Structure 1
């Protein structure tokens, strides 16, 4: 029994497609951008970022769809405090919906239905290093943070998006993105979406950037991809890179080159490793028994039974 047709069907079920749910997200994004243009006295550029830009989005288990955009202002990070520029954006959108939050890395605009968030748009606020440089800095800090808790952080998320885009080509790139989506759905099924207990989708993407390996049942046919083996191999590589099963360090490959898992506590790290062990066990059981039941335990009800 080959699991590949089932993984393909699973991918179809969880993939966030550009012209379905993402069309709704784009409409929400464009409404926010229109509001900004109407209410800001300073011009800005913008770009898509996150899973939408990288083509790795999954349908959320909790129904809260999101899209990330970067707003780039042509001002110097030496001339304004991060909170000043973030306040320009916050003030421009605060009355756009009933819920707008000032968060440490961004401003988030929520669209709600019956009091529940169904869409949100994350606005990352960036400035240029100079008119002659493409280097960007991200505004970090909460609304009332002391000066010492604010910073202009070097930011090359554009470079990371490009690196993901160039990592593989053609059908190889499609398998790369499919496996990232499988791990994101596993995360959503087995971790709380509150707080920092879960590895982020970004951290799983960074792990795949470093350790994903293509897998095929035959290297003579372009169609013979083996998503099961590619997923199992990546899970194994993530586990191997834990320091004695205690902590995993994942350096963002572009500026600011920080550890994208640094904010997880030691206890959260232990739980992350334990859940990876659990996932490995389910994958081993599926390989040994040729049963889909362990895969449904791993990836949820959207994984086909047969």
Structure 2
């Protein structure tokens, strides 16, 4: 059996978001906030919104993408509608237009107005998504352009995950990042689950029996996820609005995910069963791609292996040398 915890640690360093990049993303987010505040104050003469970060950036599970954009989610909470009844709120399309106009010209690429958010795209391979909410009662409503004002509470999900980490340990965050690294490498034409779905699955089925072995913790968590989904292909958001997240997938999408999990488990088991660390690392590379390090034995170790495997040599005296 070969444990590659040190190689997982090295891989984690490669995919982990550096403090410099976090600061760059934070500054961009804050600059957008200022643009929106100014627009509401000067152009709309409305109470400025409040902002709450959400998603993987706030959970600290964002990874460096292989070939794609960093994604930052920043919720815009409209303060001036809080005191009104919902039937008197502006339409989701109208509030989206406010945010589009507020950030227009902020970057050289025009903002994208999506159903669930307004996206601001930066040339430096990242974007900021701006979902828009009104906090009414105990939970906010999201401005969805095609579905209207719908229930959503991303702050609750962030708190839930951070509570899971507090009780289960930081290894859970690393396992989530490994899952995202696997998704990033393996995802092709057939899409794998969102980072949010993978995060909830990992937290629900985290195996804490291997605190000093990230490779075993990772593969045992994946095994627990696969076992549960084989029995019941369902995942309910653990906080309000308690919605089902995956059971409406097509059979093709379900089978693709289950087959990829099965392949991941087999390759992970084979890597751990290897007696040679270089061979084990090569199997992990088929899981994560070339960002995962290939193990190279130190010279002293290589010489020791050579000596132990070399055949006996007969000397002139007729005895083994």
- Length-normalised TM-score, structure 2: 0.81
Would you say 1:106 and 2:93 are equivalent positions?
no
State how 1:248-259 maps to structure 2 within 5 Å.
248-259=233-244
Alpha-carbon contact 1:155-1:256 (below 8 Å) kept: yes
CA distance in 2: counterparts of 1:95 and 1:265, whole angstroms: 40
Over the residues paired in the alignment, what is the CA RMSD in angstroms? 2.0
Larger relative helix fraction: 2
Match 1:214 to one of 208, 233, 251: 208
Aligned partner (choices 71, 79, 94) of residue 84 of structure 1: 94
Describe the SS at the equivalent of 2:37. Answer: helix
Please state whether the residue corresponding to 2:150 is helix, strand or coil: strand
Query: Where does residue 195 of structure 2 map in the other structure?
Result: 201
User: Helix, strand or coil: the match of 2:87?
Assistant: coil
Deviation of the 1:262 alpha carbon: 5.2
- The aligned residue for residue 181 of structure 2 is 185
SS of equivalent to 2:283: helix
Do structure 1's residue 93 and structure 2's residue 103 form an aligned pair? yes
Structure 2's unaligned 5+ residue stretches are: 296-321
Verify the 8 A CA contact 1:99 1:111 in the aligned structure 2.
Answer: no
1:57 aligns with 2:62: yes
Give every structure 1 segment of 4 or more consecutive aligned residues whose post-TM-superposition deviation is greater than 6 Å.
none
Instruction: Please state which structure has a larger fraction of its residues in strand.
Output: 1
> Does structure 1 residue 5 correspond to structure 2 residue 6?
yes
CA distance in 2, matches of 1:260, 1:110: 27
Q: Structure 1 length as normaliser, TM-score?
A: 0.85
Q: Is contact 1:45–1:71 with CA below 8 Å preserved after alignment?
A: yes
Report the equivalent of 2:282: 293
Quote the Cα distance in structure 1 between the aligned partners of 2:65 and 2:77: 28
Stretch of structure 1 that moved more, 52-61 or 30-39: 30-39
* Displacement after TM superposition at 1:209 (Å): 2.1
Q: CA deviation at 1:260?
A: 2.6
**Which one scores higher on RCO, CA 8 angstroms, separation ≥ 6?**
2
Shift of 1:153: 1.6
Figure out how many residues of one structure are paired with residues of the other and give that number. 279
Deviation at 1:243, TM superposition (A): 4.5
